[in-house]
């Protein structure tokens, strides 16, 4: 029997270099990755076809802004300082990871009146991904004790 994944089975961590540890980005509501390949057209006397050009891997992460979220503070600061950031995608069902250094192409905060404040992060891989496993998933956002409808 095949086991289906849920979106909540995946989350993203950010490695904060000055604290030498991974931080879980709090209250992730959406996320994903995309890999695209440029196509090179081959057309010679002997053959025609296509070959791979550049490969681009991007990720996007969205969620609800949460007080004391160290990862969001670090991401905003890193982009302003034009730094690359190590982002780790975690499959929580297997504890498998893919990590790489990313350029933060878009960091957006939205503050709609009457709704939760949200964040959105887009990043493009610089280099290659490294596969691994994680021993312990960092804690998520602390419980506020407030029940939501």
State the pLDDT at residue 149: 47
**In the beta sheet, which residues pair with residue 119?**
63, 109
Q: Which residues of the chain have pLDDT under 70?
A: 144-149
State the pLDDT at residue 51: 85
State the pLDDT at residue 44: 82
Statement: 8-38+51-133 belongs to CATH 2.40.10: yes
Domains of the chain by residue range: 8-38+51-133
State the pLDDT at residue 33: 94
């Amino acid at each position: 029997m095949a086991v289906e994944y849920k979106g909540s089975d995946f989350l993203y961590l950010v490695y904060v270099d000055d604290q030498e540890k991974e931080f879980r980005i709090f209250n992730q509501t959406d996320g994903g990755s995309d890999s695209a390949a440029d196509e090179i057209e081959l057309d010679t006397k002997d053959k025609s076809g296509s070959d791979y050009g550049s490969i681009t891997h991007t990720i996007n992460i969205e969620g609800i802004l949460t007080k004391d979220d160290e990862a969001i503070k670090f991401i905003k600061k890193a982009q302003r300082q034009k730094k690359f950031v190590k982002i780790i995608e975690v499959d929580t069902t297997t504890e498998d990871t893919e990590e790489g250094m990313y350029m933060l192409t878009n960091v957006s905060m939205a503050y709609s009146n009457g709704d939760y404040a949200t964040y959105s992060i887009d990043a493009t891989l610089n280099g290659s991904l490294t596969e691994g496993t994680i021993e312990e998933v960092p804690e998520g956002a602390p419980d506020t004790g407030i029940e939501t409808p």
